Structure 1
Amino acid sequence: MKKVSFTEMKHGTKEDYALLDKHEKEYERKTADRILNYLSKLDSTLEGYKVSRLEHSLQSATRAFKNGESEEMVVATLLHDIGDELAPMNHSQYAASILRPYVSEKTHWIIEKHGLFQTYYSAEHLGGDKNARDRYKDHKYYQATVDFCENYDQCSFDPDYKSMTLKEFEPMVRKIFARNPFYHH
């Protein structure tokens, strides 16, 4: 396989960068494959939960799908906790950054803020402020994020819930990640 001529980027040529651009575009087109593969391996959980991370994601997305949410929001719901393993202290921002080039401002904001909003259910039990989300009370997506947490996230830890399969979500994931980057509507 052809390789670039440089060992320092500042010495790269037009041909080097054309080669890299070609490979990067091919790689970007396979993002959905990598995401689906990663999700499929989330079959473990943090100790204490009744369901795996994958099952939580599938339950959340199934609830969004059954509630008639857009494909974009269903996929975002499926991916909302994809950062749990690699970025436990900022998993919401991690997931939002993966989605950002492919989703609307609203969907991005909801996913980015859901972690803070989700503390509404647990913070008071751990000495925190359950109303920390209220700093965003006047934001145009505040209520949508409250609704996301209430309807899809906090309620999706049920080992008896009948979720759709990852395979059923696959066409939606592929469609969203096939969009031109920085898609906005």
Structure 2
Amino acid sequence: MKLDRRAFVASLGGPAAISLMTPDDKADALEHYLEDRLKEADVLEGILKEVQGGQYPTVGELEARNADLDRPYRNGTGTLFVPRNDGDRTVDGRLRPLITMPEKPTLLDFFKYRFAWTGHCLQSATRALHTGMREEVVLACLLHDVVLSVMHPDHGWWGAQLLEPYVPEITTFAIRYHQTLRFYPDEAYGYVYPEGYLRVFGADYKPEPYLQRTYEFVRNHKWYEHSRLVTVNDYYAFDPNAKVSIEPFIDIMGRHFKQPKEGLGWDNSPSSHMWRTMIMPDRRL
């Protein structure tokens, strides 16, 4: 894989941030960066192959796979804890190395060292920024899937809980409900049901009643558009060759993300435990 040096440097926070890293940290960061690019390419390739082949499993077939207790982990396990990419896809069977977090970690530190799917989130936010969406929605696009490091099921709710103490209410709302809206097309916004979901959930899948109730609530809410715009930008953000950077979002993060002076995980907020889980994923208790 060809290394985009400019994108790599930008992903770490620029030359100033790199100058503070040890040689080992730089080596680990490079390995992590290349692995993430391979992960994203692997998932996209797999989805395209199955879409082109027209072969999708049924709900019953997926349930049969889940009945296999010889699996090394459950499908919903976060990427920090198992050597996986997305769904049943693994990369090379190895956990990725973790760099020790700073004493008072910031949101940018988590982007550098812990969050998964950063390329996808950056693509989503870049599209939102270039199409002139309000900053609270751009921030929601930037953060909408970062909680996948910890948990996949109901990640909209998990992500909203993780971020709620630190971001505007509109951003929290958009993140919480984007997951639900992914299951419901809206022609007015150009959003169609993702073909990849036919693979992940089954060709005959129908959203559970709690999702239907949630959809009806959100569809009639004054902030429906904000969550819907996250799904629109989410849908078009899986290009493994896209060149993206965190740099355009530094100021937006500064304006709308309330960074605690103690550092994320150490500020005793309702979600501090979730940030600490990412800081110390090898703790047994």
Please confirm whether the aligned pair reaches a TM-score higher than 0.5, indicating the same fold: yes
Equivalenced residues, count: 142
Matched, 1:154 2:235: yes
User: Whole-Å Cα distance in 1 between the matches of residues 131 and 168 of structure 2?
Assistant: 19
What SS does the aligned partner of 1:108 have? helix
> Structure 2 length as normaliser, TM-score?
0.42
Given candidates 141, 162, 177, the residue that maps to 2:223 is 141
* Per-residue deviation, 1:159: 2.0
Matched, 1:129 2:206: yes
Q: Can you give the 5+ residue segments of structure 2 that lack an aligned partner in the other structure?
A: 1-103, 185-192, 261-285
Matched, 1:89 2:141: no
Kept in 1, the 8 Å contact 2:156–2:175? The answer is yes
User: Whole-Å Cα distance in 2 between the matches of residues 77 and 83 of structure 1?
Assistant: 13
* Per-residue deviation, 1:87: 1.7
Higher helix share: 1
CA 1:146 to 1:171, structure 2 compared with 1: closer, same or farther past 3 Å?
Answer: closer
**Which contiguous aligned blocks of 4+ residues in structure 1 show a shift greater than 6 angstroms?**
none
User: Whole-Å Cα distance in 2 between the matches of residues 144 and 72 of structure 1?
Assistant: 9
Identity, % of aligned pairs? Answer: 29
Q: Can you give the 5+ residue segments of structure 1 that lack an aligned partner in the other structure?
A: 1-29, 45-52, 181-185
Kept in 1, the 8 Å contact 2:115–2:149? The answer is no
Kept in 1, the 8 Å contact 2:177–2:227? The answer is yes
* Per-residue deviation, 1:37: 1.7
> Structure 1 length as normaliser, TM-score?
0.62
Kept in 2, the 8 Å contact 1:76–1:99? The answer is no
Kept in 2, the 8 Å contact 1:83–1:94? The answer is yes
Instruction: Identify the residue that residue 39 of structure 1 maps to in structure 2.
Output: 111
